[in-house]
Structure formats: structure tokens, C-alpha cells
Amino acid sequence: MATLADAAEFAQDPALHGPLTVAVATAAVNIMNEDPNTNHHATRVALARHILGNPGAYADRFRYVVATNPTIVAHPDIESALGDLQYVVDSVYNAMAGIATEVPDEPTDE
């Protein structure tokens, strides 16, 4: 199991920056092309526009959030983690956009 120290080491690895920049930019392009009826589309697009203006800076913002994923941090090196990188970026995108996971209402005893 990955520790917080492992996650920090992963996030700070200089080899992560280039691939993460591409993954973040790819996510932004995909968001710009998604169905406008997608939940939280306007909020997602707002972040995508910022990302596309400076993808490298946003990769730096994503790096520690990506490192919260234990599967990606468990890889022995950045190179072996690349196959999971886009999936992880896509999975944290809403959180980075400030969108909270919607929890369904609890059933009532009616």
C-alpha cells in the first residue's frame, strides 16, 4: 500500500510533468467537446478554458491530486504509471473543477 511519502515522491518526480501536462490538456480538449447537457458542463468548460491557456501550470495543480490515487502511486516508476495517468486525470477532473460528488438522498420510511 502506498504511503503519503510515496504519494509525495510520485507527485514531485520531474518525469511526471510532461506526461501529466499532456493528460491534463487532453482532458480539457475532451471536456470542450462533450455534450453541453452533461452535468456541470459550464463549470467543467470553465476549467478546461483555463487549462488550455496554460496546461503546464495546471499540470502542476493536478500533480498532488493525481497522487491521491493509490493504484498510480503503486507503480515502481513514472514510465510504468503512464497507462493509468489519463484515467486518473479524468477521474479527478470534477474535483479540480470544484464539483462535489453528488450523494443521493437517503430513502425515507414512507
In-domain check, residue 55: yes
Which range of residues forms the domain containing residue 29?
4-96
Instruction: Label residue 101 by pLDDT band (50, 70, 90).
Output: confident
In-domain check, residue 105: no
The set of residues, in sequence order, having a beta carbon less than 8 Å from that of 89 and lying 6+ positions away, is: 20, 23, 24, 26, 27, 62, 66
Q: Is the dihedral of CA 82, 63, 40, 28 positive or negative?
A: negative
In-domain check, residue 107: no
In-domain check, residue 35: yes
Span 42-94, pLDDT tens digits: 999 999 999 999 999 999 999 999 999 999 999 888 888 998 999 999 999 99
Q: What is the pLDDT of residue 48?
A: 98
Q: What is the pLDDT of residue 105?
A: 63
In-domain check, residue 69: yes
Length of the chain: 110
Nearest to 40 by CA among 29, 31, 49: 31
- For the chain, the domain total comes to 1
Query: Is the predicted pLDDT of residue 40 greater than 90, yes or no?
Result: yes
In-domain check, residue 19: yes
Cell numbers at residue 17, please?
510533468
In-domain check, residue 10: yes
Instruction: Label residue 100 by pLDDT band (50, 70, 90).
Output: confident
Query: Is the predicted pLDDT of residue 102 greater than 60, yes or no?
Result: yes
In-domain check, residue 103: no
Query: Is the predicted pLDDT of residue 26 greater than 90, yes or no?
Result: yes
